[in-house]
Amino acid sequence: MSPKTDWHSVIAAASHHLPPYAARQLREIGFIVMPGPGIQGGCEQLSHAYDHAVATADPADVHIGRTRSSIRVNDFVNRGCEFDGIYTYPPLLAACYQIIGAPFKLSGMRARTLNAGALTEPLHVDVKHRANGWPLVGCIFMVDAFDEGNGATRFVPGSHLQSQEPGDVMDNPEDPHDEQVLACGTAGSIIIFNASVWHSHGANRSDRPRRSIQAHFVSREAQSSEDYSGSMRPETLRRLGDLAKYVLSVGEV
């Protein structure tokens, strides 16, 4: 029997995939916008695949918020091969290695469509600094370009280094923050962020929805939002390589 691959060490050895400037920005300001993974068929194919996956999703996987400003669709690991390269993107895995500092796994990956007319979301954190579940890494893959007009994600640089949350110091976290920065980019770009940084989407003042795919990564021992060991479709497992199975924590690889 061949020895089991130490995938965490493999990822650590490939940490050079995260450029030094990106590693520094993640440490100091908490987020980075960079070119995303190459997609077979390009952004047009991905756009079609996204729309098909959302349109054919089981209603149990579709969640519309109380304000109806956005639509979320869970389990994008099982939606098609076009999305496999997102959660195994080498710079993203290198960022997880840097931020989490221990073996990690994908917690969940979902689609999020921000509807036209959506209002600004309150600034928030996905996990409080040093709270249970910390550290947490998030990423947002831009199916559509993110810009000021369609609700690009806003971040408060350096806010991941403190224990306070926006509601602790702001009268209204929906208001603009004096130090906020918009994470704008072309379709196919990816945002990687420390999930303790203050962030939210802006207002979508355009006349079109703005689409993205979002994912989070947690420590190997932490509770995931989705248990892939019991939900993988056979066709998904057949096409995945060993690295992807490791990141999903399915099978023995």
Residues of the chain with pLDDT under 70: 1-3, 133, 252-253
Across 47-72, b (16+ Cβ under 10 Å) vs e yields: bebbeebbeebeeebeeeeeeebbbe
**CATH number of the structural domain 7-248:** 2.60.120.620
- The pLDDT score that the predictor gives to residue 132 is 73
Contact 175, 203 (CB under 8 A): no
- The pLDDT score that the predictor gives to residue 252 is 59
CA nearest neighbour of 218 among 138, 160, 111, 98? 138
pLDDT per residue as tens digits for the range 32-90? 999 999 887 888 999 999 999 999 999 999 999 777 899 999 999 999 999 999 999 99
